């Protein structure tokens, strides 16, 4: 599959303390992840908020988990599985 010139990828990077999303086409463009963004970013990398089949995206409690647990789970998922991994830009770095 060849990459269209319009395809921008993004990569999870770490400076040791923080996680960030970096635009691969222009590494001066990045944002640092925090508890407001872990869940939404992790979902693009395949993280599931609740494995019991709940519909939540991690921003609201389900009957099994509170949002704080989702944030911690998503942060751990990103640290454990995603540093150095790239995905197509979901629209975070549109010019
Ligand atoms: Zn669950
Ligand atoms: Zn649930």
3-state DSSP helix/strand/coil % of the chain, to nearest 5: 25, 20, 55
Banded model confidence at residue 7, pLDDT cuts 50, 70, 90: confident
pLDDT digits (tens, 9 = 90+) for 30-48: 999 999 999 999 999 999 9
**How much is the pLDDT for 46?**
96
- Residue located via tokens 């640290």: 79
Please compute the mean of the pLDDT values over residues 69-84 and round it to a whole number.
98
- Is the pLDDT at 1 greater than 70? The verdict is no
12 DSSP β-pair partners: 21, 83
Q: Tell how far the Cα of 54 is from the centroid of ligand 1, in angstroms.
A: 7
What is the pLDDT confidence band of residue 13, given thresholds at 50, 70 and 90?
very high
Using DSSP bridges, classify how beta strands 19-23 and 9-14 pair: parallel, antiparallel or unpaired.
antiparallel
Kindly identify the ligand whose nearest atom is closest to the C-alpha of 48.
Answer: 1
Percent of the chain residues topping a pLDDT of 70: 93
Backbone dihedral angles phi then psi of residue 82, each to the nearest 5 degrees: -115, -10
Q: If you measure from the C-alpha of residue 17 to the centroid of ligand 2, how many angstroms do you get, rounded to a whole number?
A: 30
Burial class (CB in 10 A: 0-12, 13-18, 19+), 33: buried
pLDDT at 3 over 70: no
Segment 67-74 shows an average pLDDT of: 97
Residue written as token pair 């010019």: 95
**CA 23/CA 11 separation, integer angstroms:** 7
């Amino acid at each position: 599959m060849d990459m269209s010139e319009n395809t921008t990828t993004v990569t999870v990077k770490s400076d040791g303390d923080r996680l960030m999303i970096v635009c691969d086409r222009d590494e001066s463009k990045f944002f640092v992840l925090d508890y407001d963004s872990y869940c939404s970013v992790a979902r693009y990398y395949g993280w599931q908020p609740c494995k019991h089949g709940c519909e939540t995206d991690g921003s609201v409690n389900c009957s099994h988990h509170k949002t704080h647990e989702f944030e911690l789970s998503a942060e751990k998922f990103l640290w454990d599985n995603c540093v150095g991994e790239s995905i197509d830009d979901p629209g975070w770095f549109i010019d």
